[in-house]
Amino acid sequence: MRKRKSKTRYLIMGLLSEGPMSGYDIRRITLERFRFFWSESFGQIYPELRRLEQDGLIARLEEKDTPRHKKRFSLTEKGMEMLRQWLLSPAETEQMRFEVLLKCYFSYLAPKGTILNHVKDFRRRYTDVLNQLLVIERELQVAPDSFNNHWYVLATVRLGIKTYRAYLSWAEEILNEFKEDPR
Amino acid sequence: MRKRKSKTRYLIMGLLSEGPMSGYDIRRITLERFRFFWSESFGQIYPELRRLEQDGLIARLEEKDTPRHKKRFSLTEKGMEMLRQWLLSPAETEQMRFEVLLKCYFSYLAPKGTILNHVKDFRRRYTDVLNQLLVIERELQVAPDSFNNHWYVLATVRLGIKTYRAYLSWAEEILNEFKEDPR
DNA sequence: TTTGGCATGTAATCCGTTACATGATTAG
DNA sequence: CTAATCATGTAACGGATTACATGCCAAA
C-alpha cells in the first residue's frame, strides 16, 4: 500500500479548526497567511473537501441564506482527532527546487553578467515578500490574540523574515563581489 | 498550447556541458552537488535523455568497452545553444512547501511542547546539511578550478550556508523562548 | 557463491496546476 | 448596464516519485 502524501487535507482541517469556512475562504486565507511557505489551488481544495466530507472528517453546515453560493464546512471530532495525530508525527523533509540557483550555477556558460540578472531578480522578489512579512508581523503584534496562537503564527513568520534577510544579504554580497571582479 | 515546465532537461544539459556522462552519473552528481536546492529521480532522467537525443540536443557516444552498461551522452552544439537560451531567460518563482511550518503553525492544537519536536527535528536536519555544505565549501577553495566556474559554484553553496544558518538561528530562538515561557 | 553496488529502464500512480465552464452578486 | 469579484466545480494534462524488472560486475 502506498502512503498518502498530499498534505492538503491537513491544511484544510487546520483552518477549519478556527471555525467553519468554505473552499473559497480556504484558498484566500492560504494566499494571505501561508503564501510564504505553502500553496494550494482550487483543483486540490474542492475535490479534497468532498473526500473529507465522505470520510466524516468535516461536515457541511446546513445554512439557509448563505451569502452567494457559499458552502461552509466545519471540522468534526473525528477530523480534529486526525489533525492532532498528524501534528504529533514528524514532518517530511522538504524538497527544494530553486530554478534560479540552477541558472546561477551554470551562468558561467553564458555571456558575462548573466548571473547578475538572476541575482537582481531574486533580490527584487524577496525584497517584496520580506516587506509583506514585516507588515504581517506588526499586525500580529497589535491584533487581539483570539485563538491564543499568535506566538505560533509569529514563529512561522519570523522564520520567513530571517530566511529572506539571509537571501538578500547573499544577493548583496554576490553583486558586490561581481562589481569588484566582473566575470 | 501549454508551456513546458519541467527543468530536468536543463539540469542534464548543464551537467553534460562539463563532459560526457551517463544517466546514472547525472543522478549521482545531482545528489552530491545540487541536493541542497534540486532533486531528480531516475524516472525523470532516463526518459528525458531519450527525448533529448531524439531532439538532437545531446548525442550518444559510440564507445566500445564501456564500463558495465554505461551509456554516455555528450552535449551537441544545438543543445548548448538551447542551454544558453534558457540561461538568459528569468527563472520562475519558486513554490515553497514546508510541511514542518504547517505543523508548527497548528501545534497550539496539540499537547504542550509539540512544536518543540518539530523545531528540534528541523534543527537536526539542517545542522547536518550545513555541515555538508561547509565541507563542500572548503573543498572548492582548494580544488583546481578546471572549468573556471568555482566562483559560480561557491555562490550557490554560500546561499545554502547563509540560509541554513538563518534556519538554525531561528530554531535556537524558538527553543529559548519556549524554555522561558512554555506553552 | 552470495551480497551489494553499478546501471538502465518502464509502468503505475499520485500530485498539482491550469484551463475551462457556469453563474450570482456587487460596485461603479 | 457592465465589469469585477465571489464562488463552486471538473477535466485534461503534465510532473514527479516509487516500485518493479533486469542484469552485470566486483569483492568478501
Distance between CA A127 and CA A174 in Å, rounded?
A: 16
Which 8-state DSSP code applies to residue A65? S
Q: Is the model's pLDDT at B112 over the cut of 70?
A: yes
Q: Which pTM value belongs to this model?
A: 0.94
pLDDT tens track for A114-161: 999 999 999 999 999 999 999 999 999 999 999 999 999 999 999 999
Determine the pLDDT at residue B1: 61
- Nearest CB neighbour to A100, from listed B91, B110, B170: B91
CA B68 to C1' C1 (Å) is: 21
Determine the pLDDT at residue A88: 98
Q: Does A110 contact B84 at a Cβ distance shorter than 8 Å? A: yes
Strand-pairing partners, residue B75, are B58
Determine the pLDDT at residue A64: 73
| Optimal mutation site among A38, A87, A173, interface B, most CBs of chain B within 10 A | A87
- The nearest CA of chain B is from the CA of A174 a distance in Å of 7
Determine the pLDDT at residue B2: 67
Q: Does B11 contact A102 at a Cβ distance shorter than 8 Å? A: yes
Lowest mean pLDDT among A34-43, B3-12, B66-75: B66-75
Average pLDDT over residues B33-51: 96
Q: Is the model's pLDDT at B117 over the cut of 70?
A: yes
Determine the pLDDT at residue B28: 96
Determine the pLDDT at residue A68: 72
Determine the pLDDT at residue A183: 79
Work out whether the CA dihedral B124, B126, B128, B130 comes out positive or negative. negative
Determine the pLDDT at residue A69: 79
**Residue B168 or A63, more confident:** B168
Strand-pairing partners, residue B59, are B74
- The nearest CA of chain B is from the CA of A122 a distance in Å of 9
Determine the pLDDT at residue A1: 61
Give the residues of chain A that fall short of pLDDT 70: 1-2, 65
Burial group, residue A63, by CB count within 10 angstroms (0-12, 13-18, 19+)? exposed
Q: Is the model's pLDDT at B183 over the cut of 90?
A: no
